[in-house]
Amino acid sequence: MEDHVKNSLLIVDDEKSNLLVLHSILRQEYTLYMARDGREALERANESMPDLILLDILMPGMDGYAVLAALKNSAETRHIPVIFITGLSDPDDEEKGLSLGAVDYISKPFSPAIVKLRVQSQIKIINQTRLIIANEIAVKSSRVRSEFLSRMSHELRTPMNAIMGMTALAKNTVEAEKRDDMLDKINSASGRLLQLIDDILDMADIEDNKLCLSCSEFRFSAMLENILHRADMDIHAKRQSVTTDIDPSMPDTLIGDERRLSHVIFHLLSNAMKFTQEQGSIQINAIVREIKADTIMLQIEVIDNGIGMPKELQEKLFLPFEQADGGIDRKFGGAGLGLPISKHIVGLMGGEIWVESELGKGAKVAFTMHAQLKVLEAQDERPISFAGKVALLAEDVEINREIVMAMLEDTGLHIECAVDGRNALELFAADPGKFNIILMDVNMPEMDGVEATRRIRALQTPEGAKVPIIAMTANVLMSEVETYLAAGMNDHVGKPLEHGKLLSIFNKYLN
């Protein structure tokens, strides 16, 4: 059985005897706080946030009217109901108190029965109001959660159905052209599924206030090309036209969070494609708003000639788990996470995001952002070499080892494999100078990747301290990544692995 939580009262009176009388009348049923003057009353009200205040009118310094006015002028305390306690009998005094916002009067000298009844009456109203509000919130929360889970189930199963169905068909297809088409569709559906998983993880990081940006050099034009490549199949399916216009003054190399920026633009493009009819057109603009010595302010716009939306629906676009109206997700799909996540990311980039639209006249979604400027060094353009370099791959799942080795096959690296963390530690300790980089899975039997990293760093060898160790993991929440970095890892790549990102990170540490 849960303990009964008492309602709380703040009693304010400059006469100690009155405080004692009221305390004796009310102490059994309520948690009580006391104040002897107006200023102390305001301090106690802000500290304890009582459910109800019993407030004397005639007090030295700051009288009850002034206290009530101050309470009502504060956003934190204006909701607290106040009952005046007073010996004044003039109707004008009662009228003044009620006009300021008092809910009732208790006259001195006190009648215990009257005090209890008047306080109980107000507490009952307070508790009933809270119950109604709590029920309304619970009903809305349940409805939103149910709708979101329904959408999420649909969004997860749709690409999964394509992956499983096309895989089964490809196994039985002998024509190379058809098989390649099926593999392209599997790849597209896999990317869509991965994006959805990333959205869920990003929203979890946002709710935990742990979503943060990373900084690395990237080519803006290459990023935009990659976004269009990811969306290519859907663009062709709807026979839409997508054009881009990059400001001529835009430096091609920026420093910022390429993955997060790509995430935002891809979501805006996906929404534009979703709400634009077949053979419709979409325009992506990248506009330079300001360039300083080492920073740049950009405005990115995604403009479509689709269905558009009225003003009253635009306000809901950036609310998590919600969409413009209940029918939009059923007709056009979507989990309702992309735009809220995008808004948060844009905020972290020092910008703002907004929508301009009219029903039937298309829409423009635009955002501003800040990035740093730096010329890309020549070595970053070189492919992974220089023959003679050795990578240690620690991964307990055989198919994952095969995938990594296939992705790195053309780099010239020699790769040795360990089946768990203990095996990786033994191989490295036996010949520390042999390995130029370690790709370390995190979740492995015998010894996990985090512990293996700690022990490699603890070896009494220079190589143990300086060898780059890259976490390879499906755990990509920022709180988990921070744990890997704290253990001594230099960087991380998320599963499922992306070929370009894997090559990029090896290029970063081996060139």
Q: Which of 373, 395, 416 is the last residue of a domain?
A: 373
Quick one: 332 and 452 in the same domain?
A: no
- Report pLDDT for 385: 58
Quick one: 361 and 299 in the same domain?
A: yes
Cα–Cα distance measured from residue 243 to residue 228, given in angstroms and rounded to the nearest whole number: 10
Q: What percent of the chain has pLDDT over 70?
A: 93
Quick one: 202 and 275 in the same domain?
A: no
- Strand 281-291 and strand 353-357: the pairing is unpaired
| Residue 383 pLDDT grade (very low, low, confident, very high; cuts 50, 70, 90) | low
Beta strands in 278-341 (DSSP E): 281-291, 295-304
- Within 10 Å of residue 197's Cβ, how many Cβ atoms? 15
Quick one: 195 and 270 in the same domain?
A: no
Quick one: 386 and 289 in the same domain?
A: no
- Report pLDDT for 433: 93
Quick one: 64 and 200 in the same domain?
A: no
Quick one: 232 and 195 in the same domain?
A: no
Residue 187 lies in a domain: yes
Whether the per-residue pLDDT at 494 is higher than 80: the answer is yes
Residue 126 lies in a domain: no
Cα–Cα distance measured from residue 291 to residue 372, given in angstroms and rounded to the nearest whole number: 10
Residue 56 belongs to domain with CATH number: 3.40.50.2300
Report yes or no: 240 and 279 within 8 Å, Cβ to Cβ.
yes
Cα–Cα distance measured from residue 450 to residue 440, given in angstroms and rounded to the nearest whole number: 8
| Residue 508 pLDDT grade (very low, low, confident, very high; cuts 50, 70, 90) | confident
Residue 400 lies in a domain: yes
- Tens of pLDDT along 272-313? 998 899 999 999 999 999 998 889 999 999 999 999 888 877
- Tens of pLDDT along 111-167? 999 999 999 999 999 999 989 988 888 887 777 777 777 777 777 888 899 899 999
Mean pLDDT, residues 415-422: 96
Q: Which two tokens stand for residue 87?
A: 């010996």
Q: Which of 373, 391, 422 is the last residue of a domain?
A: 373
- Tens of pLDDT along 216-258? 888 999 999 989 988 887 888 899 999 999 999 999 889 999 9
Domain total of the chain: 4
Quick one: 440 and 392 in the same domain?
A: yes
Residue 399 lies in a domain: yes
* Coil, strand or helix at 429: helix
- Report pLDDT for 387: 63
Cα–Cα distance measured from residue 58 to residue 62, given in angstroms and rounded to the nearest whole number: 9
Residue 456 lies in a domain: yes
Quick one: 51 and 105 in the same domain?
A: yes
Print the domain residue range for 498: 381-510
Residue 224 belongs to domain with CATH number: 3.30.565.10
Residue 133 lies in a domain: no
Quick one: 369 and 385 in the same domain?
A: no
Q: Is the sign of the CA dihedral 331, 333, 337, 340 positive or negative? A: negative
The pTM of the full predicted model, rounded to 2 decimals, is: 0.55
Residue 121 lies in a domain: no
- Tens of pLDDT along 39-88? 999 999 999 999 999 999 999 889 999 999 999 999 999 999 999 988 87
Q: Which of 95, 110, 125 is the last residue of a domain?
A: 110
Mean pLDDT, residues 461-468: 95
Quick one: 237 and 361 in the same domain?
A: yes
Quick one: 198 and 234 in the same domain?
A: no
What's the chain's average pLDDT?
A: 87
